[in-house]
Amino acid sequence: MAMQIERRYHFYAAHRNLGLKDKCARLHGHRYGVAVILRLPYGNSGITMKFEMIDQQLKPIFARLDHMTLLDESDPLANILGKEQSILFGFPTSAENLAAYLLHQCRHVIPYCSELRLQETDSATIYVDANDLLEYPRR
Ligand SMILES: [Zn+2]
């Protein structure tokens, strides 16, 4: 028998997507809300995995991005901000790409992570399922 556990986190970050010729190409920030769904075996113990254990593994993934500027490595702004203020990715930092990246990171520390939802705005949330991960960038 298995059960699904949802843990929620958030981080604040700036980004821009120069490939888009609209407002998203301008530097701006979001409060990213994250929900990680773990599909865990449920046995006689009455628990799946202690929430505290889950948080210990997953929180650092989001803390690393908090109050940073998330940039495609080809963005010229990367040279100006440097490593103290920016984190570089090998892909545009769209919500879709970030969601896939984050789920990959979560699965690296807890393979039971089966789905991740990344809320970028009040009206836009990305859902990514582990079964679809190979279709997305992983760096
Ligand atoms: Zn944005």
pLDDT band at 137 (very low <50, low <70, confident <90, very high): low
pLDDT of residue 44: 80
From the CA of 19, how far away is ligand 1's center (Å)?
Answer: 12
pLDDT band at 10 (very low <50, low <70, confident <90, very high): very high
95-114 mean pLDDT: 96
pTM value?
0.93
From the CA of 15, how far away is ligand 1's center (Å)?
Answer: 6
15-31 mean pLDDT: 93
From the CA of 30, how far away is ligand 1's center (Å)?
Answer: 6
From the CA of 89, how far away is ligand 1's center (Å)?
Answer: 15
pLDDT of residue 76: 94
From the CA of 24, how far away is ligand 1's center (Å)?
Answer: 6
From the CA of 99, how far away is ligand 1's center (Å)?
Answer: 13
From the CA of 110, how far away is ligand 1's center (Å)?
Answer: 28
From the CA of 34, how far away is ligand 1's center (Å)?
Answer: 15
The 10s digit of each residue's pLDDT in 111-132 is 999 999 999 999 999 999 999 8
Q: Give the span between the Cα atoms of 7 and 27, in whole angstroms.
A: 29
Can you spell out the DSSP letters for 54-115? HHHHHHHHHHTTTTEEEEETT-THHHHH-TTTEEEESS---HHHHHHHHHHHHHHH-TTEEE
**Mean residue pLDDT across the chain:** 93
pLDDT band at 104 (very low <50, low <70, confident <90, very high): very high
pLDDT of residue 105: 96
From the CA of 41, how far away is ligand 1's center (Å)?
Answer: 36
> Is 80 exceeded by the pLDDT of residue 135?
no
From the CA of 125, how far away is ligand 1's center (Å)?
Answer: 12
pLDDT band at 19 (very low <50, low <70, confident <90, very high): confident
